[in-house]
Amino acid sequence: MHETTLLLIEVGALLLAMSLLGRLAIRIGLSPIPFYLLLGLAFGNGGLLPFDASEEFFATGAEIGVILLLALLGLEYTAEELVIGLRSSRRAGIVDALLNALPGAAFALLLGWGPIAAVALAGVTWISSSGVIAKLLRDLGRLSNRETPGVLAILVMEDLAMAFYLPVLSALVVGASLLQGAIGVAIAVTIVIVILFLALRHGHVISRFFPAEHAEPLLLGVLGLVMLVAGLAAEVSVSAAVGAFLVGIALSGRVAANASAVLTPLRDLFAAIFFVFFGLATDSSAILSMLLPAAALAALTILTKLVSGAYAARRAGVGTLGQWRAGLVLAPRGEFSIVIAGLAVGSGIEPALAPLATGYVLITILAGTFLARLPDAEWFRAAVRRRSNPGRKGLSAAKP
């Protein structure tokens, strides 16, 4: 069978299966993310029927999915809101880094993997998945919640921190000099500052380049700018997601509102592809040997994310229920964790790190998708209210 024909058959079959699973998820009131992941696992390496012809298509689509998720998230906020959020969440960002990086580093050292593997695993457990969390916030209708700016500030700080972390890790794993690592960090940070400056100072000028009232040129222009900036950011070792998010921040007014409307269907398509590809790229047989260590590490670091997310929300004056929402929604790890593990293993640093990281990410995404919904359950809300007002029941009972 011709390769293009096989590609069309595989992509069509997967899209139809995704549609059916999406309908099932809506019917039972769950996020479709776990279903997309399991679908990818079923047809990925080590699955029931591996799909090989469509792997490159889904790899490219997955990258576009993350970019669009973050770009449209950026369209929901202004540059001023971003700066205020970053300033108010600096301490929360430090707490987040310490609480979530140290368990990974300690775990690697306990397994005897050495200091460089410890640095790599620290990054795997530290960085939450911007793509997964952006979709969760949208699916759960929490974009306007009081705790959401704090959650986004932590995500942005984590992604910006990758501009420092990835060049340093790259230098460590290849044995490069300290000077080479410092040059990589300097270039990456400079690019981030330039993009952020343009978004803050000249966002209104950038918006004028796009016709707010004409859907087709607006769609092509904004999508082109988002992908161009994301690609340039990735080229200098800055997160492509950060570049896309900052482009969204830079656009304002009717351009931002109309761009969000025309890009939403594309985001939905490619975001779903991102989660399926994650499963397709995972060798389900390889992660079995590391499943128990991955589960133990996931349980520990879901708890540490809960603490750091709740701390950020509490500093922003958010109530107890909002603190739970902020902490639980930050549980999923994703794209960066896999990139970090691949970078380390590709350079000959501890081969077992790859299946551990893959199992860990899958567990945190599956568990985090369900845990994020807990604060919406009535029994959970009632339990939080009782804990927040322990004397209320007794006072009520004492009334005549």
pTM: 0.71
Rounded to whole angstroms, what are the CA distances from 318 to 109, 210, 261, 310, 311?
37, 37, 30, 9, 10
Say which residue the tokens 């959020």 belong to: 85
Q: How many CA atoms lie within 13 A of 199 on its CB side?
A: 30
pLDDT of residue 176: 53
DSSP letter at 330 equals T
Domain positions in the chain: 56-377
The pLDDT tens digits along the chain (400 residues) read 677 888 888 889 889 999 999 898 878 766 687 788 788 878 877 667 777 767 788 888 888 887 887 788 778 767 666 677 667 778 888 999 999 999 999 999 999 998 989 999 999 999 998 878 888 888 888 888 888 888 888 887 887 777 677 667 767 776 655 566 667 667 766 766 776 677 667 666 777 788 888 889 989 999 999 999 888 877 766 667 777 877 887 887 788 889 889 998 998 888 888 878 877 776 777 778 888 999 999 999 999 999 999 998 998 889 999 999 999 999 999 767 877 887 777 667 778 887 888 889 889 988 998 899 999 889 998 888 887 776 554 434 433 3
User: Which of 389, 373, 368, 372 shows the shortest CA–CA distance to 320?
Assistant: 389
Helices (H), 212-316: 215-235, 240-250, 253-280, 291-315
Rounded distance between C-alpha atoms, residue 275 and residue 286, angstroms: 19
d(CA 99, CA 87): 20
Q: Are 336 and 113 in contact (CB under 8 A)?
A: no
Per-residue confidence (pLDDT) for residue 325, from 0 to 100: 94
The pLDDT, as a whole number, for residue 177 is: 57
Length of the chain: 400
Q: Say what the pLDDT of residue 399 is.
A: 39
Pick the CATH number of 56-377 from 1.20.1530.20, 1.10.10.10, 1.20.59.10, 1.10.3720.10: 1.20.1530.20
Instruction: Tell how far CA 366 is from the center of its chain.
Output: 13
DSSP state of 210: S
Nearest to 333 by CA among 139, 124, 39: 124
Residue 101: CB partners within 8 Å, gap ≥ 6?
122, 123, 125, 126
d(CA 137, CA 381): 18
Coil/strand/helix, residue 319: coil
Tokens of 299: 């349980």
Calpha distance 250→78 (Å, rounded): 7
